[in-house]
Amino acid sequence: MGKTTHFGYKQVDVEKKQSLVKGVFDSVAGKYDLMNDVMSLGVHRLWKNYTIASSNVSNGDQVLDIAGGTGDLTIRYRKKVGSTGKVILSDINNSMLYEGRKNLLNHGVIDVDFVQANAESLPFKDNTFDCVSIAFGLRNVTDKDAALKQMCRVLKKGGTLLILEFSKVENQMLEKAYDFYSFNLIPKFGDFFANDEDSYQYLAESIRKHPNQETLKTMVLDAGFEFCEYHNLTGGIVALHKAIKA
């Protein structure tokens, strides 16, 4: 029997998950930004602003935005690193990179590198970046432990890792309301706005299968980081984990 892993609430062969996730993002790429606004009621922009404010990124820094998709964080990082810094937007999915290029051009950002890469085997040298971030992408990675070790490897000593991801809601009443919203409304929004109910059903399920705040913190420390803390946003619907490489 081969190894299996979760794809939403389904169990699938490990080697098949990557292609299944690719299918989801090939489907949603064109409507990704619209659906982020619809599903979060625009609050995702505040979560991303908080991430940037927590990043310690400054003029001249080297930044890697993993699973950067349409480039929301990349645009913000590019402003912070200035003319002497560098930002790389990486994503495993070519459809998302295509949307990212379009979005950055629309914002007048032309001096960013785009790299199609798997977070589990990053094609960068050791100790390259001052900051590595991944926003709403880690839960789609098959081998999260391998990806976290890669992020640690490519960071410089003293560099910062930022993981912005859906997490475990703190309040029981909020959790019930959030569950109802996630499983009854989000797939319907996906059907109405993107003509794709199944992909948004998977995305809702993938959130519930992602490690909670404390578990992810332990995983980050086990990957080789010296320090990790997290901050819950919007009652724990989202958490930002911030780690420092020894």
pTM score of the predicted model: 0.92
Cβ 166 vs Cβ 210: under 8 Å? yes
- As given in the structure block, the two tokens for residue 40 are 């979060």
Parallel/antiparallel/unpaired status of strands 238-245 and 155-166? antiparallel
Q: Which two tokens stand for residue 165?
A: 């991801």
CB-count exposure of residue 63 (10 Å: 0-12, 13-18, 19+):
buried
Residue with the two structure tokens 């990179």: 97
Q: pLDDT truncated to tens, each residue of the chain (246 aa)?
A: 468 888 788 888 988 888 888 888 888 888 888 888 888 889 999 999 999 999 999 999 999 999 999 999 999 999 999 999 999 999 999 999 999 999 999 999 999 999 999 999 999 999 999 999 999 999 999 999 999 999 999 999 999 999 999 999 999 999 999 999 999 999 898 888 888 899 889 988 999 999 999 999 999 999 999 999 999 999 999 999 999 998
Beta-bridge partners for 91: 116
Q: Any bridge partners for residue 10, and if so which?
A: 7
Q: Which of 169, 103, 176, 136 is nearest to 36 (CA)?
A: 136
- CATH number belonging to domain 4-171+199-245: 3.40.50.150
Give the E-state strand segments of the chain in sequence order: 4-7, 10-13, 62-66, 86-91, 113-116, 129-135, 155-166, 225-233, 238-245
- Cα–Cα distance between 100 and 106 in angstroms, integer? 10
Asked if 221 and 229 count as a contact pair (C-beta separation under 8 A), the reply is: no
238 pairs with which residues across the strands?
Answer: 166, 233
The residues spanned by each domain of the chain are 4-171+199-245
- The pLDDT value given to residue 26: 84
